[in-house]
Chain A
């Protein structure tokens, strides 16, 4: 084990996979010579050379389309989108093409393309640099979506994403980049589709992911002092979902809060809430609560962003509310 930041762990996964498989190459804006805006690709050009680590122009639509073609032609490309917000200039490639190719080809053309990116707010980066867009990516079938909450998962999940034969979008959170924790040395792979119970509890389950896992742990800590036992489950992968872990926890606590930073409408919480109530209705003792961003673009001023984005206090309130009604 080593103490690593999420940036270092992401970098370690890229190194692990570049070293392991000559088909892997990493590319994007400022990734090679500069080492990445957030240092995620630091040193890769030096250590793996210019055929494996490549700078691109600011041409997201073009280079994601090229990632698709390269993947179809036998490579395992890893494209970096500097901010997930910039995926929006490339949505046609992502959703009309990358997500659909395997299906449209009758399963004959796999697309082992990985897109690494970062999202999230809480930093005053305003409406075009603070978003969590996983729900957009999940709405259309065909993309796997992964959001690590800590360094070990960043390393393990990214390795699994690169080895996966499907297009995977791997989304770090900018607030977590510097967060250090223990990461296994050597080869480390966390299979996609496995949630992780971060804290056992008996009264209510909080399903969450990414930056809000930490907030959820804080809320659970506080709830415990008020006599409420919260189980915190980090979903880690939103597609595929780990139904086994979700169902086991709901069956244990009978109360559910789903929390995410993205907007409420048509979001992951609403979707998961439906799936839980339709599959496990008899297990539920209270309405499912969803904590999400207010449905407004992320505002710049702190006074406003604080209201729009979820807080530990809102998570706590939802957990207590689920139990006390």
Chain B
């Protein structure tokens, strides 16, 4: 994937009027989330990490986002969504069933653990879940489509896009308090926003992005 925002790192604004103290503290906490699982067993955590790696692959040239650790933290801290579909168990139990379900599918299709499969084979199992095709004792009646779409996908994607690496990669201005924004019109960039590179402009844009 081409880098549309070369040199842009939203964290460069951390000590500027774009970030207030409360925000700095919140993002610091996120960057220092423990990498070891605290809710899931190491075995289930390995499956989660593998699945997250496919759902939202990591950029090669930016600091990695600990997606699985962030999801595990959500479970560990019992951060809920405020609702639960009647067909779904409570979130921790949903993960225990769904992740085992992925492993069972890997065993029956390839005779191996999910985490050890080739990416393409992992994708295939995830795609089957998305279509609601996985079933078996591990699921205990939980619809695999619901688990994939309304639990795993949302949690993994919400974790990734809560991370500065993702903001930098997509050219998102990031926190903007107290400074805010001034140039509201189309095609107007505030000097503390990411500049986007058109072909041939990468060097100039990199310079601009290093000075947000």
A and B co-occur in one complex: no
- Interface of B toward A, CB cutoff 8 Å: none
